Structure 1
Amino acid sequence: MSDIIFTSHATAKGGREGHVKSNDGVIDVNLVDPASKSDEKGSNPEQLFASGYAACFDGALNLIASKQKKEINSTLSADVSLLKDQEDNGFKLGVVLHIEIEGVTQEEAEDLAHQAHEFCPYSKATRGNIEVELDVKIV
């Protein structure tokens, strides 16, 4: 393994209808399967992944922009979908990243988003494994 900067730790018990908790207690949530139509409140693995991916990508986007001396404001939303996998009759993930950027042209925004997609650790981890679509808009 490369030089470790830091390590996060979380424990899940009970799968999609269980509980997940980080070692520091900041994340401490019940998990509810949205497909179950339950009235229970809780998160799900896709929602947690969407949160992490959106935060990571927005950080990468702002770092790339700052290195190019571009002052931007950005908002990142991630839609993470659980999809039926036709190849093995199982499941897979698909992601749409909705990227709103203020302070640059549409062409510059798209260029920044593509560079961030090359740099972002989540994008690197998912590359070739799941479909990721970039929806870039200037505001």
Structure 2
Amino acid sequence: MSKITKVLATGKTRTTGSDSAVFSGNHEGKLDIQLSAPGNSTARTHHFAAIEAHPTAEQLFAGAWSACYSAAVGIVAKQMKVALPADTAVEIEVDLGLGGNEYFIQARLNLIVPGIAHELATAIAHGADAMCPYSKATKGNIDVVLNVVTA
């Protein structure tokens, strides 16, 4: 893997659990959509924070990855018999950048689970990372940092 030495753009997303169906967009460059995963009836509200009026490729990739990873977090927590707090969130940032004369991407995954013991939340985060097909696809191909926030 090559390292990015200059970040050109960052696509940021935040996915949270929700019981309501949401699909909206506005001229300010934000897009909220309802996401679901195969076999998962829980809807997730996904927010693309955009600089421009349309999502970038990095935001779309981060959004798809976030939906998949978020579903995996729910599955792993259920398998571990852990009730996730209502304000559990997945934030993913995907950077587009240069490493020498070549373009690369790198990512940061943040699992936010307030009130859960850090060691337990870290186990859930790594279990979801091992399960999520997007995480598997990127493993060894791009630099990824996995962070857990419990406070």
TM-score normalized by the length of structure 1: 0.66
**Which residue among 79, 98, 118 is the counterpart of 2:93?**
79
Q: Deviations over 1:51-107 (max 9, x none)?
A: 111111111011001011111132001100002123xx2111110011101352001
The residue aligned with 1:8 is none
**Which residue among 43, 54, 57 is the counterpart of 1:42?**
54
The residue aligned with 1:120 is 132
Q: Deviations over 1:87-133 (max 9, x none)?
A: xx211111001110135200111111011111111001111101111
Taking the TM superposition and a 5 Å limit, the aligned residue runs for 1:13-92 are 41-73=53-85, 74-86=88-100, 89-92=101-104
Counterpart secondary structure, 1:77: strand
Letter in 2 for 1:76: V
The answer on whether the counterparts of 1:78 and 1:97 sit within 8 Å (CA) in structure 2 is: yes
**Is structure 2 residue 111 aligned with structure 1 residue 99?**
yes
| 1:43, distance to aligned residue in structure 2 (A) | 1.5
Count of residues in Structure 1 that have an aligned counterpart in Structure 2: 100
Q: Deviating runs (4+, > 6 A) in structure 1? A: none
Structure of larger gyration radius: 1
Letter in 2 for 1:121: P
Distance in 2, matches of 1:104 and 1:40, equals 36
**Gaps in structure 1 of 5+ consecutive residues:** 1-25, 27-38
What is the root-mean-square deviation in Å for CA atoms of aligned residues?
1.8
Distance in 2, matches of 1:102 and 1:120, equals 22
The residue aligned with 1:133 is 145
The answer on whether the counterparts of 1:109 and 1:136 sit within 8 Å (CA) in structure 2 is: yes
